[in-house]
A and B are shown apart, each in its own frame.
Chain A
Amino acid sequence: MDLTLKIWRQNGPQEKGEMKTYPISGVEEDMSFLEMLDYLNDKLINEGIEPVVFDHDCREGICGMCSLFINGEAHGPGRKVTTCQLHMREFKSGDTIYIEPFRAKAFPIIKDLMVDRSAFDRIQRAGGYISVNTSGNTIDANAIPVPKENADKAFDAATCIGCGACVATCKNSSAMLFASAKISQFSLLPQGQPEAKERVLNMVHQMDLEGFGNCTNTGACEVECPKGISLENIARMNRDYLFASLSSNK
């Protein structure tokens, strides 16, 4: 198929960026979206043009490294897919495709389509863990039964891949779906209880420090989330936050 690609090019964090147009032919519908970009880059290299920089790694929808805002949607058309799982059969010959980086104040651009999402790591460091040393000498794994329903919900929350589609999609650039997924995972498990109050207060505080916006219950994040992380997690986080704010000794 023949396509016209409009791609955001930006040489560095402080440089001015712009959309550049690249016509491309010979794209096959079995290619993944990123393979299409590989194919473009190979052509660009042959023409002596610097290839387009974008983040990617596992190419099977689990590492969370790939991003891209494609035709105005995080990870492009289709639901519950990451960009690496999007295939060119979703497009047709003659299409113009707009490819931009995930945009948010807290995700500064590094180069072209690559952004810095280290703010997510800093939110996790503020409390996204259970304080247990790795001695292996904890209690037996089956000593505390966990109701299946809670374990399953904790798992669903824990499947967040930290890609940032929620932030890129949100009109407020809020990271509440991301933060609430980790907070919910531990909130639903007995092991997470001792630090539950501090965790929610610290992680939310860090989220604000990083410059993410607040949630206004639009729900776009849930729609665009490649892993289908539920809005329910934000509600749970808000309840936990309120409870912690009112009852914490700190």
Chain B
Amino acid sequence: MALDSKVPAGTLADKWTTHKGEIPLVSPANKRLLDIIVVGTGLAGSSAAASLAEMGYNVKAFCFQDSPRRAHSIAAQGGINAAKNYQNDGDSVHRLFYDTIKGGDYRSREGNVHRLAEVSRNIIDQCVAQGVPFARDYGGLLDNRSFGGVQVSRTFYAKGQTGQQLLLGAYSALNRQIAKGRVKMYARHEMQELVVVDGKARGIIAKNLVTGEFERHSAHAVLLCTGGYGNVFFLSTNAMGSNVTAAWKAHRQGAFMANPCFTQIHPTCIPVSGENQSKLTLMSESLRNDGRIWVPAKKEDAEAIRLGKLHPNDIAEEHRDYYLERRYPAFGNLVPRDVASRAAKERCDAGYGINKTGEAVYLDFAAAIMRYGAEEAHVKGLKNPSDAEVKALGEKVVEAKYGNLFQMYEKITASNPYKEPMMIYPAVHYTMGGLWVDYNLMTTVPGCFALGEANFSDHGANRLGASALMQGLADGYFVAPYTVGEFLSKDIRTGKISTDSPEFDAAEQAVRERTEKFINNNGTKSVDFFHKRLGKIMWNEVGMARNEKGLKQAIADIQALREEFYADVRVLGSANGMNPELDKAGRVADLIELGELMAKDALERNESCGGHFREEYQSPEGEALRDDENFAFVSAWEFTGIPAEAKLHKEELTFENVELKTRSYK
């Protein structure tokens, strides 16, 4: 099967407008005859469900949480990018497009990314009209901040809760349609299977998580807005319930999985504290504006700190190694996420880590506190202020900027970041890979679409900060509502899809068998036991640095783990009723298969690019070596039964509007 990206012809800036004009319309009377299922109610799902319902389609929306408002988009902190150029700093649609392509290390599709940059401006207008309370300046106009990897100020924000405010905006639009009866909302429901009839996605089997019942839902199209799969690493910044099941079931039914190994490891997270930890917490990228990252320059100092014999404040300036400033003088502490993460790992692997596990570095605000303090003292006209006075003034400034983050850090670690440097370490945060989609966001299963983090399309091998929210809302509000028309316009005479068909029977039967197997397994180990082991394999071999030997080992280990999981997992209770352990077992089963495919994908990509770093492909200075000649393509994997034996399809990436360059931040 040849992959057709369906990117429209024409000049880059005209593609989307031309395409929108050419998509067949579905008349209002016919829209009422068409049903659409939306799985997931994060930014992409809520916005898509609301928009499609407004247009007149019948929408059914599903989420596993108790309310659509709780989807994990809510946890996004920093902001959302848009090429508004309100700051008059030379921003434009083209610049946002270019930054995103470059930031993604030239592994994304030009057409899709340009469309994203175009609609970014509408997102801000739309959200303000919905009452999203973005930060404003004293003139009453919208404020902006800067984010990593770019040279303009285009990030709109609502303190450290931008994701929450945007999601609640989309949730309110969704609520309006639920109230009108145009969206039927199914909370505490989880998709268990995609139903394909005559080669088209025509429905899902959903589980009512409260009663344990399986329900058949039919539709003319199914939109998967189910987020990323970072939880394959067990420890990540994802929510506990985030999972790959919906996407993986679609993959098993014929939807190709694209670039699954492209994982974003965020450099500034609170380090792992113990074996019983369940998740990792992010400290916003904005902290790198003022925090300086360092480790001791002498190994014996690092050792003494680990043993609790030395305090970081007692290490003299000349014995500290500000390794990002040393290695990347041009960008310093504000290098992109992939670069900063790898540099931290390099220092810790070399024995300079500073917590008891040896996997942490310092993020230090002492210099910023003194700098801001001196400024404040000057403003206040203080003559010869003491260091203590300057420090107190500086702490106030830092508190105003980052107070909520400092408080969050102190709650988790019981350490005061005003008095001693924060300890941070990289953690899994986002997955650029996902279901392969064409320009219309349709997967290789006709009628099955993927939006937001669930698809692979816009971020290449590395996502820039504040771009995930932009993509989720772009797909849901402004792209999918148009592009589903191309598929649905052929379905106006199809009539209601029956759930009483052999395909639905078979799908439900398969789900029942899987469920019963878990319940009657009589194993000895909890689901978490296996999930944690999967996480360790993934983190060690398919994490920040990968090599051929480790990846081959990972595939073997994951295959063995899968066998052991099915033989020995223990799920108590019954299938009739609320049983979170049972639900977790199903999710972990799919994560195990996905992990194997991720290792396979990483093994086949013999280059280093973005979040994918192969140790064999690096410069003598340890920088990533991309191979555009042989790897400027999207890896789209077709399921064949065993993940490691998936069939590779290549979508060649052509760059007509940007020149491929080596990313340098030195």
Please, how many angstroms separate the alpha-carbon atoms of A81 and B577 in the complex?
A: 31
Count of residues in A whose CB is under 8 Å from the partner chain: 77
Contact pick for B86, options A116, A142, A186, CB 8 Å: A142
A57 lies within 8 A of B65 (CB): yes
B577–A111 touching, CB < 8 Å: yes
Chain A CB within 8 A of B92 CB: no
Contact of B161 among A116, A131, A148, A159 (CB under 8 A): A159
**B159 at the binding interface (Cβ < 8 Å):** yes
User: In the complex, A38 Cα to B584 Cα: how many Å?
Assistant: 13
Q: Mark B224-257, 1 if CB is under 8 A from A, else 0.
A: 0000000000000101110000000000000000
Contact A56 B178, CB 8 Å, known A50-B572, A85-B411, A155-B133: no
Q: Is B84 an interface residue (CB 8 A)?
A: yes
B213 part of interface (Cβ distance < 8 Å): no
Whether B67 and A121, one on each chain, are in contact in the complex, defined by CB atoms closer than 8 angstroms, is: yes
Taken together as a complex, chains A and B put the C-alpha atoms of A134 and B122 apart, in Å, by 10
- In the complex, the answer to whether A162 meets B69 with C-beta atoms within 8 Å is yes
The answer to whether B528 and A42 have CB atoms under 8 Å apart is yes
Do residues B164 and A65 form an inter-chain contact, with CB atoms below 8 A?
no
* Nearest chain A CB to B225 CB, angstrom units: 15
Are B66 and A139 touching (Cβ within 8 A)? no
Whether A28 sits at the interface, judged by CB under 8 Å, is yes
Complex partner residue of B133 from A117, A120, A138, A185, CB under 8 angstroms: A185
Interface string of B129-147 (1 = CB under 8 A from A): 1110111111111100000
For A139, the chain B residues whose CB sits under 8 A away are 125, 129
**Quick check: is B552 within 8 A (CB to CB) of the other chain?**
no
Q: Whole-angstrom distance between the alpha carbons of A158 and B273 in the complex?
A: 33
1/0 per position for A36-61, CB-CB distance to B under 8 A? Answer: 00110110011011110101111111
Bound CA–CA A134/B132 (angstroms): 13
Whether B140 pairs with A148 at a CB distance below 8 angstroms is: yes
Q: Assuming A28-B274, A58-B72, A138-B129, is B135 touching A125 (CB within 8 A)?
A: no
CB < 8 Å neighbour of A12 from B69, B123, B163, B577: B577
| Bound form: Cα–Cα A60–B163 in Å | 13
Whether B367 sits at the interface, judged by CB under 8 Å, is no
Q: Contact: A132 with B129, CB < 8 Å?
A: yes
Residue B526, interface by CB 8 Å: yes
For residue A57, which residues in chain B have a CB less than 8 angstroms away from its CB?
A: 65, 70, 72, 239-241
Tell yes or no: B95 within 8 A of A by CB. no
Cα–Cα, bound, A11→B624 (Å):
55
A155 to B161, CA, bound (A): 10
The answer to whether B126 touches A134, judged by C-beta atoms less than 8 angstroms apart, is: yes
CB pair A64 B69 closer than 8 Å = yes
**In whole angstroms, what is the CA distance A126 to B210 when docked?**
25
A residues near B168, Cβ cutoff 8 Å: 158
Question: Which residues from B are CB-within-8-Å of A162?
Answer: 67, 69
Task: Report the Cα distance A243→B653, complex, angstroms.
Answer: 61
**How many whole Å from A201's CB to the nearest CB in chain B?**
15
- Residue interface bits B402-419, CB-to-A below 8 A is 1, else 0: 000000100110100000
- Known contacts A87-B414, A131-B176; A141/B578 CB under 8 A: no
Q: Which residue in chain B gives the minimum CB-CB distance to A117?
A: B66
B175 touches A124 (CB 8 A): yes
B630 CB–A CB distance under 8 Å: no
* Chain A positions within 8 Å of B178 at CB level: 125
Residues A46 and B131 in contact, CB atoms below 8 Å apart: no
Indicate whether A38 sits within 8 Å of B528 (C-beta atoms), given known contacts A58-B75, A110-B578. Answer: yes
Complex CA gap A64/B128 in Å reads 24
Q: Note all chain A residues with C-beta closer than 8 A to B477.
A: 134, 136
Contact (Cβ within 8 A) B66 A129:
no
Name the contact of B66 in the complex, choosing from A46, A65, A87, A126 (C-beta under 8 A): A65
A68 to chain B, nearest CB (A): 14
Q: Are A87 and B411 CB-contacts (below 8 A) given A45-B572, A185-B131?
A: yes
Asked if A235 is an interface residue, CB under 8 A from chain B, the answer is: no
Taking CB atoms, residues of chain B closer than 8 Å to A32 are: 278, 412
Q: Is the CB of A121 within 8 A of B187?
A: yes
**Contact A145-B140, Cβ < 8 Å, known A59-B240, A63-B70:** yes
Question: Could you give, for residues 72-83 of chain A, a 1 whenever the CB lies within 8 Å of some chain B CB and a 0 otherwise?
Answer: 000000000100
Q: Which of B494-527 contact A (CB under 8 A)?
A: 526
B527 to chain A, nearest CB (A): 9
The proximity string for B residues 70-85 relative to A, scoring 1 for CB distances below 8 Å and 0 otherwise, is 1010110000000010
Cβ-based interface call for B570 (8 A):
yes
- Whether B274 pairs with A30 at a CB distance below 8 angstroms is yes
- Contact digits for B483-501, partner A, Cβ 8 Å, 1 yes 0 no: 0000000000000000000
Kindly report which residue of chain A lies nearest to residue B185, judged by CB atoms: A121
CB < 8 Å neighbour of B526 from A11, A46, A81: A46
Q: Name the residue on B nearest A227 (C-beta).
A: B161
Would B74 and A62 count as touching, CB distance under 8 A?
Answer: yes
Q: Are B578 and A53 in contact (CB under 8 A)?
A: yes
Q: Give the residues from 103 to 124 in chain B that come closer than 8 angstroms, CB to CB, to chain A.
A: 119, 122-124
A35 at the interface (CB under 8 A from B): yes
Judge whether A101 is part of the interface by a CB distance below 8 angstroms.
no
Q: Residue among A31, A58, A61, A114 with the most chain B CB within 10 A?
A: A58
Q: Does A192 contact B (CB under 8 A)?
A: yes
- Which residues from B are CB-within-8-Å of A62? 74-75, 161, 163-164
B158 to A: closest C-beta gap in Å: 6
Q: Identify the interface centre among B50, B175, B408: most chain A CB within 10 Å of its CB.
A: B175
Contact check, B276 vs A28: say whether CB atoms are below 8 A apart. yes
**CA–CA, A87 and B410, complex, Å:** 11
Give every chain A residue within 8 A of B72 (Cβ-Cβ).
57-58, 63
Q: In residues 523-582 of chain B, which contact A (Cβ within 8 Å)? A: 526, 528-529, 570, 572-573, 577-578, 580-581
* Assembled-state Cα–Cα distance A162/B411 (Å): 21
B residues less than 8 Å from A60 (CB atoms) = 75, 237, 279, 281-282, 408
A59 and B278 contacting across the interface, CB-CB below 8 Å: yes
Taking the closest CB of chain B, its distance from the CB of A86, in whole angstroms, is: 9
For the complex, give the distance between the alpha carbons of A50 and B68 in Å.
28
The answer to whether A134 and B173 touch across the interface, beta carbons within 8 angstroms, is yes
A65 is contacted by which of B50, B70, B128, B161 (Cβ under 8 Å)?
Answer: B70
Question: Which residues of chain B are near A81, meaning CB under 8 Å?
Answer: 411
Cα A232 to Cα B122 with chains together (Å): 34
Kindly name the residue among A85, A121, A136, A138 whose own CB sees the greatest number of chain B CB atoms within 10 A.
A136
Residue A89 CB within 8 A of the other chain: yes
Residues of chain A with a CB closer than 8 A to B159's CB: 155
Q: A139 to B119, alpha carbons, bound, how many Å? A: 14
Contacts of B127 in A (CB 8 A): 141
The 4 A-B pairs at the shortest CB distance, nearest first, are namely A145-B140, A136-B122, A129-B172, A155-B133
Residues of B with Cβ closer than 8 Å to A?
A: 47, 50-51, 54, 65-70, 72, 74-75, 84, 86, 119, 122-131, 133-142, 158-159, 161, 163-165, 168, 171-173, 175-176, 178-179, 185, 187, 210, 237, 239-241, 273-274, 276-279, 281-282, 408, 411-412, 414, 477-478, 481, 526, 528-529, 570, 572-573, 577-578, 580-581
14 residue pairs of the A-B complex, CB under 8 angstroms, read: A53-B580, A57-B240, A60-B75, A62-B161, A121-B187, A130-B131, A131-B176, A134-B126, A135-B126, A136-B126, A147-B140, A148-B138, A185-B133, A186-B131
Instruction: Mark A residues whose CB is within 8 Å of B.
Output: 11-12, 28, 30-32, 34-35, 38-39, 41-42, 45-46, 48-51, 53, 55-65, 81, 85, 87, 89, 110-111, 114, 116-118, 120-121, 124-126, 128-142, 145-148, 151-152, 154-155, 158-159, 161-162, 185-186, 189, 191-192
Besides A121-B68, A148-B138, 7 other CB < 8 A contacts?
A48-B572, A63-B75, A114-B578, A129-B130, A129-B173, A132-B173, A158-B165
